[in-house]
Amino acid sequence: MANFGQKIIANFANDNAKFLFISAAIGWILASSAQTVGIIANKNIKKEDKKFLVPQEIFDGLCNIGLYALITAPLIKQTGKLIDNGTISFKNIKKGTSEFERLKGGAKVIASLIGAVVSCDIATPLVRNKLGSITQRKALQQKIKITEPNYDPNYQPFFQKNLNRMPLKMSNYIAFTKSHGLKI
């Protein structure tokens, strides 16, 4: 009786397109996690850039795997079907022979590569940029809500309710007029 590892290796070695599909998905999960941690840990990237780059990276990974599965898996399956039903055939090669299966496998590998390029290199960046910018906007809006007005009573004595505690002085008034935050 074959164990799990033997079955996996045998199945992957027999169906190369399926193997490339699964190994690429695992690779992206690992790569995306590493890149996200890398951005968070990098002190040389500005906070403003991180706000966009971190969600971009997370969406990149999610989109990569999601779109890859959505586009590539049906493409591989459909290629196999088109060969099986005779829409795509091979000259002088009979159906069911090992050579036929090898060529069918080759066509499925090509389908998996096309699917990978279309999904990961074209569809993913388009979708992740859109989703990443939405998250960035939300994060900025949240920050605006959280940030409370901050003023120094020494520079803005007019806002003090209790004048006995903070009397209006000429030095305070001059400082207030020189304030960069003053808008009239």
Partner 1 sequence: MITKIQSTNNTISFHALKPIVLGEKAQKFLSKTSDFSSVHQRIAIGTFAFLIQPLIDLNNKDVDKDTSKVSAVRSASKAVVGTATGIVIRGGCMKLAERKFAKKDAAGNILREAGKAIIDPEKVKKIFGKGFDSLNLDQKALNNAFNRVPLVVGTLAALGIMVATNFLIDAPLTCKLTEKLSNIVKGKQSGGNKNG
Pick out residues in 33-72 that bind partner 1 (CB under 8 A).
33-35, 37-39, 41-42, 44-45, 48-49, 52-53, 56
Nearest Cα residue to 120 out of 69, 171, 161, 183: 69
> Does 140 contact partner 1 by CB under 8 A?
no
Q: b or e along 115-127 (b: 16 or more beta carbons within 10 Å of the residue's beta carbon)?
A: bbebbbeebbbeb
We find the least distance from the C-beta atom of residue 137 to partner 1, in angstroms, to be 8
> Does 144 contact partner 1 by CB under 8 A?
no
Kindly identify the residues of this chain, within the stretch 153-182, that bind partner 1 according to CB under 8 A: none
> Does 143 contact partner 1 by CB under 8 A?
no
We find the least distance from the C-beta atom of residue 17 to partner 1, in angstroms, to be 9
> Does 74 contact partner 1 by CB under 8 A?
no
As given in the structure block, the two tokens for residue 84 are 């099986």
Kindly identify the residues of this chain, within the stretch 105-124, that bind partner 1 according to CB under 8 A: 105-107, 109-110, 112-113, 116-117, 120-122
The span from the CA of 134 to the CA of 131, in Å, is 5
* Residue 57: partners with Cβ closer than 8 Å, 6 or more residues away: 32, 35, 36, 39
Nearest Cα residue to 134 out of 73, 59, 79, 80: 59
Q: Which of 70, 90, 156, 160 binds partner 1 (CB under 8 A)?
A: 90
Q: Which of 77, 81, 95, 138 binds partner 1 (CB under 8 A)?
A: 81
Q: Which of 74, 77, 78, 168 binds partner 1 (CB under 8 A)?
A: 78
* Residue 113: partners with Cβ closer than 8 Å, 6 or more residues away: 20
As given in the structure block, the two tokens for residue 34 are 């590493």
> Does 141 contact partner 1 by CB under 8 A?
no
